[in-house]
A = this chain, B = another copy of it.
Amino acid sequence: MTRHRQETHGAQSVTGGPPLLRQINQRKILAILRSEGPARVGELARHSGLSRPTVTHVLDQLSEAGLIDYLQDHPDGRGQLGRPARVARFRAEAGYVLGIDIGPHQTAVIVADLDGRSVATTRRSTSSAHDQHQLLAAVRSAIETALEQAGVTEQAVLSVAVGSPGIIDRRVGTVVRAPGLPGWTALDLGEELGRFFRCPVLLDNDVNLAVLGERWRGVAQDTDDVVFVLWGERVGAGICIDGEVHRGKAGAAGEIGYLTVLSKDAAVAEPDGEGRGPFEREVGARAIIRLAHELAARPGHTSSLAGRPTLDVPAVFAAAAADDPVGREVVDTVAARLAAGLAPLLLVLDPDMLVIGGGISRAGARIIDSVAAHLRRLVLVPTPVRLSALGQDAVVTGAVRQALSEVEQRLLPNPETARDGAD
A residues touching B (Cβ–Cβ < 8 Å)?
A: 1, 4-5, 7-12, 21, 24-25, 49-50, 167, 177, 225, 237, 239, 241-242, 244, 246-256, 258-261, 267-269, 277, 340-341, 343-345, 347-352, 377-381, 383, 422-423
Contact = CB atoms under 8 A, between A and B. Distances in A.
Contacts of A237: 348
Interface of A: prevailing SS: loop
B24 A347 contact: no
Given A21-B8, A260-B343, A269-B378, A350 B225 contact: no
B269 A4 contact: no
Contacts of A246: 225, 241, 349
Contacts of A249: 225, 350-352, 381, 383
A83 B128 CA distance: 85
Nearest to A25: B8
B8 A351 contact: no
A178 to B, nearest CB: 13
A377 B258 CA distance: 11
A221 to B, nearest CB: 16
Given A1-B49, A9-B10, 6 more contacts: A242-B244, A248-B350, A253-B349, A256-B344, A344-B345, A348-B349
Contact of A253 (B7, B8, B250, B350): B350
A243 B7 CA distance: 28
A251 B344 contact: no
A260 B381 contact: no
7 contacts: A8-B49, A225-B246, A225-B248, A254-B350, A269-B379, A341-B344, A345-B348
B256 A347 contact: yes
B267 A378 contact: yes
Contacts of A10: 7-11
